Amino acid sequence: MVTQEAKVQTVWETKLPLPLAGRGKVRDIYAVGQDKLLIVTTDRLSAFDVVLPDPIPLKGKVLTQISVFWLDYFSKMMPHHLITADVSKMELGAALTPCLELLEGRSMLVKKSKPLPIECVVRGYVTGSGWKDYLKTGGVCGHVLPKGLKQCQKLDRPIFTPATKAVEGHDENIDREQAAGLTGPDIAKKAENYSIELYRKGAEYAATRGILIADTKFEFGIWNGELILIDEVLTPDSSRFWPKNQYEIGRDQPSFDKQIVRNYLSGLTWDKAPPGPKLPPEVIEKTSLAYVEAYEKLTGKKLRA
């Protein structure tokens, strides 16, 4: 369904004439031949793991173009899945021609890999569930941390805290031995090293653009026998983005994007079970602007809308 909102066309769900390989909370994924995937990022927004009923204008374009930015930024560091994000180069066939305008800016043609069964989480600050864990255990996911850390304090070194990829429900934290059991020790070690390095380099760059990346989740896949970076990369959906000029330790931080929605939802009596509540137009508009601002701040470029 495509709706017209605030003059910007939003994409809620796509129905392309290609075999559907999967529909996640945010992405529609199609098979292109045997060895490629077309990943289309819609404007759906999920909060507390529930997809809310309103699309956020431009969100899918922001997430796609931030991922494309980072894949290019990291391309000398490690191989990745992106073939092209330019619809005119995708060669999807004549049946797709009427859909190209809708796909432009929000789609990636990628190498189809075998995703590792783990989510590679890296944390550079102690926040969220990590902060709760620290208060209880003095560490985060088994990493022992110095005493006396304050909420949202930067860690001396980023830590790797892998999780399972739950098909349904919440991902579960696992320790590095369990991760090694799921992927094999060599691959787990490689994935850990890459994750830390990608986070370090990405966070360092983002800080120069006024954004602190507090933590993030990477995914890797095996393609042609080699480990490659897949999925979305260092986006506000896969990471916590904090405005650097508002950062203060000892309290929760405002986030760039979903904070507006979270604040609105926290004022409601909603039990976090589907269906999610509808959002007022001003919350939708502010959220859309916040996503676009994250892109423009990070890249220094105008969004290709």
Ligand X SMILES: Nc1ncnc2c1ncn2[C@@H]1O[C@H](COP(=O)(O)OP(=O)(O)OP(=O)(O)O)[C@@H](O)[C@H]1O
Least CB distance from residue 120 to ligand X, whole Å? 11
Say if CB 279 and CB 5 are below 8 A apart. Answer: no
Interior/surface letters 60-91, b for 16+ CB within 10 angstroms, e for the rest: bbbbbbbbbbbbebbeeebebbbbebebeebe
Least CB distance from residue 154 to ligand X, whole Å? 27
- Strand runs labelled E in 33-117: 36-41, 46-47, 50-51, 82-84, 107-111, 114-115
Least CB distance from residue 33 to ligand X, whole Å? 13
Least CB distance from residue 270 to ligand X, whole Å? 19
Q: Which CB, 199 or 218, lies closer to ligand X?
A: 218
Q: Which residue lies nearest ligand X, judged by its C-beta?
A: 24
Q: Which CB, 81 or 240, lies closer to ligand X?
A: 81
Q: Which CB, 42 or 253, lies closer to ligand X?
A: 42
Least CB distance from residue 231 to ligand X, whole Å? 4
Q: Which CB, 59 or 112, lies closer to ligand X?
A: 112
Cα separation of 268 and 278, whole Å?
11
Give, for 73, the enclosing helix (H) or strand (E): helix 59-73
Q: Which CB, 212 or 229, lies closer to ligand X?
A: 229
Residues 6+ away with beta carbon under 8 Å from 35: 111, 112
Sign of the four-CA dihedral 138, 139, 144, 148: negative
Q: Tell which residue, 62, 106, 56, 9, has the closest CA to residue 301.
A: 62
Q: Which CB, 24 or 53, lies closer to ligand X?
A: 24
Residue 191 Ramachandran class (φ > 0 left, ψ -120 to 50 alpha, else beta): alpha
Cα separation of 160 and 191, whole Å?
10
Least CB distance from residue 27 to ligand X, whole Å? 3
Least CB distance from residue 256 to ligand X, whole Å? 19
Q: Which CB, 61 or 81, lies closer to ligand X?
A: 81
Q: What is the dihedral of CA 125, 203, 256, 80, to 10 degrees?
A: -120
- Binding residues (CB under 6 A) for ligand X: these are 24-27, 29, 37, 81, 110-113, 115, 219, 221, 230-231
